[in-house]
């Protein structure tokens, strides 16, 4: 059940990540917009629109024109002269990206308030034509569009003259257009005389970059066209705008038809601008038009936009290509796209295909991350994200489509990341489970070492100085015959569990369990400089436990028996032995056999623990007494062996350091007669002391010295 629940939670990771990615796509937070816009800008910088000679011109009121003609604002008579010059050149339409919202301050009537003139002179000046009337007269023949501004706040300003009609196909377009509350229109005398009036205002993105130019905007409860749209309409002599919304309700606008041109738009009625770099053919300085130095053929049939690039006039915008550009150029570049049919598209189905990419890619890669290794899933995720980015780029350069690779890439990466984290935590949990389970069969320190050093999990071994503790439970076989086997096994399990626990608490490695016997090694697999001390301390702790455990059971009437322990140290080969099918981590060498012999020799000596001089040489704080120089069965060399004295558990009535025994033992090699007397005296005092009885019997059998040759294992 727990495993099924874990699997179920893991499988929820990809759908959860996909849901988060889809939520980001739906909510479209500002950060995501900024990332997407940055990618679209990079597309344009890497692949700007190639300029084609097009009948669209910008008449630039530039710094040079201001220097030659005079500072801005120019008298309206000069503007009228500019209009007449352009009309004489045969332009199709003129659009002013300049607002004429206030009366001309250089008009004769305005000057009368400033000049101190005689009455006759005032009458003469008052009879001169008003400059705004002069400009209005220049506008009346047609072909001129005036720009006006709109504002988000306020109310009350009148709408400029509307000289067009709207034909709607589908839902009403008004709710979808960018809303504005108030207009800053041209003077009524000018607005009424012009062939059209269009909004100059842009709706830049949150970073201030102009990426789209609106064709239609909402002013109160009325749709109004942009300057570029009006210039295109007037230039064709058209009267109507045909506005078509998307077939699906609630989506927004799809396109605007102006004369013979159908312009695809965003849902809010904007057209994406595919910018080209600066082109000198596009722009003419205004002073050259006024000076009449521009051939008429260069302007014949053109859509002309009058604007300014002078920094002091503050009509500069941020470009997707980087840097700033005059606002009038955005209108001009949009008109170039319309005339050359080279639009950028952000189709209505773009969000759907991006959402589908998130769902399919996220689920696939999330599931892959759950089922495969981190490296494989990461590489495949990078490849898929690369393909998404490549698809977005190819869609741009081949089809002029603006498909967002950022949101799908983030959604896919989020699915991979979340699933990888779940997989990682799940793997860690499985590893902990395996480690804990494996530790019940193998020593925890060995499991930890293999996990940390997997390269060492191979056949072979290395030379290592180690210490070994061998134990054997005496009398358990006979106990099995006296009590229920199940009860006997339960008692043995308690015994073995504590014995192994003591070994693990001393950082020993379980070498093997054979029936009721246990073999422990120290300094493998991790070297331990104090392995001799650890081994002897562990052996003493084991002996204390077994003595108490046996006494407690005997008090209950259960003859459990006692434990013999042997401790020895030496150089062995430690490593993995066996074959390709199964490993057996163990130590091989004579010290292992010697430790086992020391355990079994206890039954001949009457002792419970025997520790070799090789082990004792690395120990401190342990009181022992010598057993003798033992020549074990099958050995030719003697081994000095000692018996630890701890808490009086081994020797009833013996003092902590037993100086009497030490003095008697020393006489074995110096004076056998005196040794006999000394051991007889000790035997009278301690009839149950095994070593005293051992040496007394040897002396009585005429065996002198401390060399003891064992004839049995």
For 280, the token pair is 């000198």
The neighbouring-strand residues paired with 492 are: none
The answer to whether residue 651 is domain-embedded is no
Indicate the pairing of strand 562-578 with strand 517-522: unpaired
Secondary structure (3-state) at 405: coil
Q: pLDDT tens-digit profile of 574-618?
A: 887 776 556 677 889 999 999 999 999 999 999 999 999 999 999
Count how many Cα atoms sit within 13 Å of the Cα of residue 303 in the half-sphere of its side chain.
Answer: 27
Residues 23 and 67 in one domain: no
- The answer to whether the CB of 273 falls within 8 A of the CB of 202 is no
Indicate the pairing of strand 56-60 with strand 283-285: parallel
Q: DSSP secondary-structure letter at 459?
A: B
Q: Which secondary structure element, helix H or strand E, spans residue 418, and what is its range?
A: helix 406-439
Q: Burial-class residue 79 by CB neighbours within 10 Å (0-12, 13-18, 19+).
A: buried
Integer-rounded Cα radius of gyration of the chain: 51
Residues 330 and 402 in one domain: no
Q: For the chain, how many structural domains are there in total?
A: 3
Which pLDDT does position 369 carry in this prediction?
77
Could you tell me which of 296, 250, 303 has the C-alpha nearest to residue 55? Answer: 303
- The answer to whether the CB of 481 falls within 8 A of the CB of 490 is no
| Long-range contact set of residues 555-560: C-beta below 8 Å, sequence gap at least 24 | 558/479, 558/483, 558/491, 559/475, 559/478, 559/479, 559/482, 560/475, 560/476, 560/479, 560/491, 560/495
pLDDT > 80? residue 122: no
Does the pTM surpass 0.85? The reply is no
The answer to whether residue 544 is domain-embedded is yes
The whole-angstrom separation of Cα 79 and Cα 69 is 11
Straight-line distance from the first to the last Cα atom of the chain, in angstroms, rounded to the nearest whole number: 54
Residues 485 and 399 in one domain: no
Q: Could you give the C-alpha distances from 397 to 263, 274, 498, in angstroms and in order? A: 20, 11, 75
Q: DSSP secondary-structure letter at 335?
A: H
Q: DSSP secondary-structure letter at 345?
A: B
Residues 411 and 281 in one domain: no
DSSP per residue, 605-669: HT-SEEEEHHHHTT--S--EEEEEEEE-TT-SS-EEEEEE--TTSSSTT--SS-HHHHHHHHHHH
Residues 471 and 605 in one domain: yes
Crossing angle, helix 76-88 and helix 131-139, to 10 degrees? 20
Which pLDDT does position 574 carry in this prediction?
87
Residues 534 and 415 in one domain: no
197 φ/ψ angles, rounded to the nearest 5 degrees: -135, 125
If you search the block for the tokens 């007889």, which residue do you land on? 680
Distance of CA 577 to the CA centre of its chain: 43
The whole-angstrom separation of Cα 41 and Cα 48 is 10
The answer to whether residue 316 is domain-embedded is yes
Work out the pLDDT band at 438, boundaries 50, 70, 90: very low
The answer to whether residue 291 is domain-embedded is yes
- The answer to whether the CB of 418 falls within 8 A of the CB of 17 is yes
Which pLDDT does position 650 carry in this prediction?
47
Could you tell me which of 137, 111, 139 has the C-alpha nearest to residue 125? Answer: 111
For 107, the token pair is 């008009």
Residues 336 and 351 in one domain: no
The whole-angstrom separation of Cα 467 and Cα 50 is 83
Residues 238 and 296 in one domain: yes
For 427, the token pair is 């793997």
The neighbouring-strand residues paired with 515 are: none
Which pLDDT does position 2 carry in this prediction?
46
Which pLDDT does position 649 carry in this prediction?
44
Domain end (from 437, 470, 495): 437
Which pLDDT does position 283 carry in this prediction?
95
Q: What is the mean pLDDT of residues 105-130?
A: 69
In terms of residue numbers, what domain contains 599? 457-619
Residues 15 and 146 in one domain: no
The whole-angstrom separation of Cα 482 and Cα 260 is 111
Secondary structure (3-state) at 582: coil
The whole-angstrom separation of Cα 447 and Cα 620 is 30
Domain end (from 314, 340, 366): 340
Could you tell me which of 469, 473, 585 has the C-alpha nearest to residue 537? Answer: 469
Which pLDDT does position 448 carry in this prediction?
60
331-340, 365-374, 569-578: which range is least confident on average?
365-374
Which pLDDT does position 647 carry in this prediction?
46
Residues 473 and 433 in one domain: no
If you search the block for the tokens 């309700």, which residue do you land on? 249
Mean per-residue pLDDT of the chain = 87
Q: pLDDT tens-digit profile of 551-561?
A: 999 999 888 98
Count how many Cα atoms sit within 13 Å of the Cα of residue 104 in the half-sphere of its side chain.
Answer: 23
405 φ/ψ angles, rounded to the nearest 5 degrees: -90, -15
Residues 366 and 424 in one domain: yes
Residues 514 and 475 in one domain: yes
Asked if residue 525 has a cis previous peptide bond (ω within 30° of 0), the answer is yes
For 357, the token pair is 């990419």
The dihedral through the CA atoms of 318, 324, 325, 326 has a sign that is positive
Per-position b or e across 89-110, b if 16+ CB within 10 A of its CB: bebbbbbbbbebeeebeebbee
Secondary structure (3-state) at 76: helix
The whole-angstrom separation of Cα 359 and Cα 25 is 11
Q: pLDDT tens-digit profile of 463-512?
A: 999 999 999 999 887 887 788 888 888 999 999 999 999 999 999 988 88
- The answer to whether the CB of 136 falls within 8 A of the CB of 193 is yes
CATH number at residue 526: 3.30.70.1230
Domain end (from 287, 322, 340): 340
The answer to whether residue 695 is domain-embedded is no
Work out the pLDDT band at 454, boundaries 50, 70, 90: low
For 706, the token pair is 């401390």
For 548, the token pair is 């108490």
Work out the pLDDT band at 226, boundaries 50, 70, 90: very high
DSSP per residue, 262-302: EEE--TTSEEE-------GGGEEEHHHHHHT-S-GGGTTT-
């Amino acid at each position: 059940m727990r495993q099924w629940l874990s699997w179920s939670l893991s499988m929820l990771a990809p759908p959860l990540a996909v849901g988060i990615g889809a939520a980001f796509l739906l909510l479209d937070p500002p950060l995501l917009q900024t990332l997407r816009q940055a990618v679209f800008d990079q597309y344009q910088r890497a692949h700007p629109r190639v300029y084609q000679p097009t009948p669209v011109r910008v008449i630039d009121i530039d710094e040079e024109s201001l220097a030659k003609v005079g500072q801005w604002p120019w008298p309206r008579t000069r503007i009228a002269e500019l209009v007449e010059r352009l009309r004489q050149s045969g332009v199709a339409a003129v659009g002013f990206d300049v607002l004429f919202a206030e009366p001309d301050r250089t008009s004769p009537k305005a000057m009368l308030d400033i000049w101190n003139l005689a009455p006759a002179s005032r009458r003469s000046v008052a009879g001169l034509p008003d400059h705004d009337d002069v400009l209005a007269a220049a506008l009346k023949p047609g072909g001129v569009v005036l720009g006006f501004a709109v504002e988000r706040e306020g109310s009350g300003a009148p709408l400029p003259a509307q000289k067009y009609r709207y034909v709607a196909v589908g839902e009403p377009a008004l709710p979808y257009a960018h809303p504005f509350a108030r207009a800053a229109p041209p003077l009524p005398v000018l607005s009424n005389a012009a062939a059209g009036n269009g909004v100059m205002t842009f709706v830049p993105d949150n970073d201030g970059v102009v990426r789209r130019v609106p064709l239609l905007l909402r002013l109160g409860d009325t749709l109004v066209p942009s300057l570029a749209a009006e210039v295109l309409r007037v230039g064709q002599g058209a009267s109507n705008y045909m506005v078509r919304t998307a077939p699906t309700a609630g989506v927004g606008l799809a396109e605007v038809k102006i004369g013979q041109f159908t312009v695809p738009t965003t849902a809010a009625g904007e057209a994406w601008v595919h910018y080209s770099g600066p082109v000198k053919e596009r722009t003419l300085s205004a002073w050259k038009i006024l000076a009449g130095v521009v051939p008429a053929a260069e302007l014949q049939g053109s859509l002309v936009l009058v604007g300014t690039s002078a920094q002091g006039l503050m009509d500069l915008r941020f470009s997707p290509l980087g840097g700033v550009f005059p606002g009038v150029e955005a209108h001009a570049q949009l008109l170039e796209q319309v005339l050359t049919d080279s639009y950028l598209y952000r189709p209505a189905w773009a969000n759907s295909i991006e959402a589908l990419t998130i769902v399919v890619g996220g689920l696939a890669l999330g599931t892959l991350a759950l089922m495969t290794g981190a490296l494989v899933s990461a590489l495949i995720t990078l490849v898929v994200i690369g393909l998404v980015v490549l698809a977005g780029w190819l869609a741009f350069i081949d089809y002029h489509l603006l498909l967002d690779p950022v949101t799908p890439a983030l959604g896919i990466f989020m699915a991979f990341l979340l699933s990888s984290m779940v997989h990682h935590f799940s793997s860690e949990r499985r590893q902990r489970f395996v480690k804990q389970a494996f530790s019940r069969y193998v020593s925890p320190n060995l499991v930890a070492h293999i996990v940390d050093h997997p390269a060492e999990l191979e056949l072979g071994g290395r030379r290592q100085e180690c210490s070994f503790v061998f134990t054997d439970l005496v009398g358990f076989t006979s106990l099995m015959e006296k009590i229920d086997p199940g009860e006997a096994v339960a008692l043995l399990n308690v015994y073995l569990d504590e014995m192994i626990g003591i070994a693990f608490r001393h950082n020993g490695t379980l070498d093997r369990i054979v029936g009721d016997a246990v073999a422990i090694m120290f300094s493998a697999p991790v070297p331990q400089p104090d392995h001799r001390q650890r081994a002897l301390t562990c052996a003493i702790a084991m002996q204390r436990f077994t003595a108490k455990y046996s006494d407690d059971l005997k008090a209950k009437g259960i003859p459990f028996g006692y434990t013999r322990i042997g401790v020895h140290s030496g150089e062995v080969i430690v490593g993995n032995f066996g074959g390709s099918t199964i490993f057996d981590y163990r130590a091989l060498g004579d010290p292992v056999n010697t430790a086992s012999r020391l355990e079994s020799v206890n039954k001949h000596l009457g002792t419970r623990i025997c520790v070799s001089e090789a082990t004792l040489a690395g120990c401190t704080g342990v009181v022992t007494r010598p057993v003798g120089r033992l020549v074990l069965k099958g050995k030719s060399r003697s081994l000095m062996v000692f018996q630890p004295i701890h808490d009086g558990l081994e020797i009833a009535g013996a003092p902590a350091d037993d100086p009497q025994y030490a003095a008697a033992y020393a006489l074995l090699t110096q004076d056998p007669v005196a040794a006999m007397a000394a051991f007889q005296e000790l035997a009278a005092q301690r009839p149950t002391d095994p070593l005293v009885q051992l040496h007394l019997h040897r002396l009585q059998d005429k065996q002198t010295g401390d060399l003891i040759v064992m004839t049995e294992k």
